[in-house]
Amino acid sequence: MIKLTVDNTEIEAEPGANLLHTCLESGIYIPNLCHLKEMSPAPASCRLCFVEIEGMDPPVASCTIRIWGSMQIHTDTPAVRRLQKSALQLLLSVHDVDCKPCPANRKCALQDIAKFLKIGLKPKHLQKQLKETRVVEEHPCLDYYPNRCVLCGKCVYVCRQQHDLPMLAFAGRGFDTVVTAFGGAKKTRDACGLCLACSAICPVGALIPKAEAT
């Protein structure tokens, strides 16, 4: 085991362990949306889990770091918070913040991270850009809300773990990227009706079982 210091707290980890995961397991919170312990390599897509490592400049996404020695980590520096706030504001600029009717309200990772970083969910200076489609209802069991989706990829990952054939995938590029389902109505109804792991792992309210949709 290796001893490392995170914000003046000494913790232990196996050499090669994932830094973000080690911190979270040790009770040290670092904002994150796309991290799953099992996902390797880490997608590093949400750009929230920045930390500073002494001897390394600039801050790095902690999900991409393997622990290599007695590192000195700082999770709460001005540079780290600046980067995290920018990443969150970017996400909020394409997010339809309408929490009251959203099934994720009060158990939403975006709300939690915004609170942690002391950012309002509706910053006044933010220029909004929303997709035209509010909800995609083609799936027999699930409704998909593109303007709530943070494109974390967790649903696509768990779907691939559960089924021999993936039923979900990303489609489109850049601002138009969405999660899409394929496989045909009968196949998806059979496979998804008993599963819904994607909806359970979604950190926001983007994939909602039809019975719970608003």
Token code pair at residue 91: 């996400």
Closer of 6 and 206 to ligand SF4 (Cβ): 206
Tell me, residue by residue from 22 to 61, as one string, x for binding to ligand SF4 by CB under 6 A and - for no binding. ----------------------------------------
Count residues near ligand SF4 (CB under 6 A): 27
With CA atoms as reference, report the closest residue to 145 among 11, 112, 155, 17.
Answer: 155
| Beta carbons of 11 and 4 less than 8 angstroms apart | yes
> 9, 86, 93, 105: which one contacts ligand SF4 (CB under 6 A)?
105
Q: Which residues in the 83-102 window bind ligand SF4 by CB under 6 A?
A: 95, 97-99, 102
Residues whose CB falls within 8 Å of the CB of residue 164, separated by 6 or more in sequence, listed in order: none
Which of 94, 104, 113, 192 forms a contact with ligand SF4 (CB under 6 A)? 104
Nearer to ligand SF4, 21 or 95 (CB): 95
User: CB of 109 within 8 A of CB of 149?
Assistant: no
Q: What number of other Cβ atoms are within 10 A of residue 101's Cβ?
A: 8
By CB under 6 A, name the one of 20, 108, 159, 181 that touches ligand SF4: 108
Distances in Å between the Cα of 40 and the Cα atoms of 16, 20, 43, 64, 98 are 12, 13, 8, 10, 33
Q: Does 19 bind ligand SF4 (CB under 6 A)?
A: no
| Residue 105 neighbours by CB under 8 Å, 6+ apart | 99, 111, 205
- Residue 15 beta carbon to ligand SF4: minimum distance, rounded to whole angstroms: 31
Question: Considering only 11-19, 62-70, 71-79, 145-153, which stretch makes contact with ligand SF4 by CB under 6 A?
Answer: 145-153
147-176 residues in contact with ligand SF4 (CB under 6 A) are: 148-155
Q: Which of 6, 30, 73, 207 binds ligand SF4 (CB under 6 A)?
A: 207
Contacts for 7 with CB less than 8 Å, ≥ 6 apart: 28, 73, 74, 75, 76
CA 81 to chain CA centroid, Å, is: 17
Complex with ligand SF4: residue 6 or 208, whichever CB lies closer: 208
Alpha-carbon separation of residue 117 from 7, 29, 128, 198 (angstroms): 17, 12, 20, 27
Position among 6, 36, 42, 110 found at the interface with ligand SF4 (CB under 6 A): 110
Q: Which residues bind ligand SF4 (CB under 6 A)?
A: 95, 97-99, 102, 104-105, 108, 110-111, 121, 148-155, 179, 201-207
